[in-house]
């Protein structure tokens, strides 16, 4: 299987350190938030790419192994801090399990959702939200989650600007989720 990525890098047949070097070069051309799929055959690339992403500050999402092929997914992150006023209505991720009604909206990329999400969460990546507002019900409470609370903050403001009133940003985000994860891989 293959998951949705913005850019694909073919590193098949390459030995260390080439998968890392090629990934670094490919990553330089991505914009923040985009996802790179690295297709490799070097078995060492699994540990190497995760360590590399961690070291330079990108998000290593996961690896799919199919026979001799490894598909790695990495999301580009920069350290820019959003200076805008944060969305005022928030709820702590630890309170999610106590809620009785409403919809949980996961605005991370499809790949991130596939590698682990909260059971029952609806997936609409932030970039698609504008075009998919009709899938959401204004009468329901909408709890928006992402990885660290940044993208969900933008999504909450976007929904509020479109007339949604029962919107909450789940803070901080999936990085602090202690419950079970459902996977689509």
Partner 1 sequence: MSNKVAIIASNGGVFDAYKVFNIATAAAATEKEVAIFFTFEGLNLIHKQAMHAVPLPEGKEHFAEGFAKANVPSIPQLVEMAQELGVKFIGCQMTMDVMGLTKDDFIDGIEVGGAVTFLEFAKDASPTLTF
Active-site annotation, residues = 16
Torsions phi, psi for 155 (to 5 deg): -65, -40
Looking at the Cβ atoms of 44 and 116, the one nearer to partner 1 is 44
Q: How far apart are CA 144 and CA 106, in angstroms?
A: 6
Q: By CB under 8 A, is residue 21 in contact with partner 1?
A: yes
**In the bound complex, what is the minimum distance in angstroms from residue 75's beta carbon to partner 1?**
17
Q: How far apart are CA 104 and CA 124, in angstroms?
A: 11
Instruction: Give the range of 52-60, 116-124, 127-135, 151-159 binding partner 1 by CB under 8 A.
Output: 52-60
| Cβ atoms 151, 157 nearer than 8 A | no
Strands (E) located in the chain: 7-11, 35-40, 59-66, 69-75, 90-92, 103-106, 122-123, 142-145, 167-171
Q: By CB under 8 A, is residue 18 in contact with partner 1?
A: yes
Looking at the Cβ atoms of 16 and 69, the one nearer to partner 1 is 16
Q: Which two tokens stand for residue 174?
A: 């999936």
Please pick, from the candidates 31, 32, 55, 101, the single residue that binds partner 1 as defined by CB under 8 A.
Answer: 55
Q: How far apart are CA 40 and CA 123, in angstroms?
A: 28
CB atoms within 10 A of CB 133: 14
**In the bound complex, what is the minimum distance in angstroms from residue 57's beta carbon to partner 1?**
9
Instruction: Give the range of 51-59, 78-86, 131-139, 172-180 binding partner 1 by CB under 8 A.
Output: 51-59
Please pick, from the candidates 8, 16, 88, 179, the single residue that binds partner 1 as defined by CB under 8 A.
Answer: 16
Please pick, from the candidates 2, 8, 10, 15, the single residue that binds partner 1 as defined by CB under 8 A.
Answer: 15
Residues that bind partner 1 (CB under 8 A): 13-18, 20-21, 23-24, 48, 52, 55-56
């Amino acid at each position: 299987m293959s998951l949705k990525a913005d850019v694909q890098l073919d590193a098949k047949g390459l030995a260390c350190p080439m998968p890392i070097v090629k990934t670094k070069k490919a990553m330089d051309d991505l914009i923040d938030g985009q996802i790179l799929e690295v297709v490799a055959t070097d078995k060492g690339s699994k540990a190497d790419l995760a360590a590399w992403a961690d070291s330079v500050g990108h998000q290593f999402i996961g690896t799919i192994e199919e026979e001799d092929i490894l598909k790695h997914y990495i999301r580009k992150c920069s350290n820019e801090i959003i200076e805008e006023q944060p969305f005022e209505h928030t709820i702590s991720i630890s309170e999610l399990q106590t809620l009785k009604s409403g919809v949980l909206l996961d605005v991370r990329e499809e790949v991130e959702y596939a590698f682990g999400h909260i059971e029952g969460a609806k997936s609409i990546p932030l970039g698609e939200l504008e075009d998919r507002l009709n899938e959401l019900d204004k009468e329901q409470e909408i709890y928006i989650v992402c990885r660290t609370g940044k993208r969900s903050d933008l999504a909450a403001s976007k929904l509020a600007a479109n007339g949604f009133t029962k919107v909450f940003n789940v803070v901080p985000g999936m990085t602090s989720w202690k419950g079970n994860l459902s996977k689509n891989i």
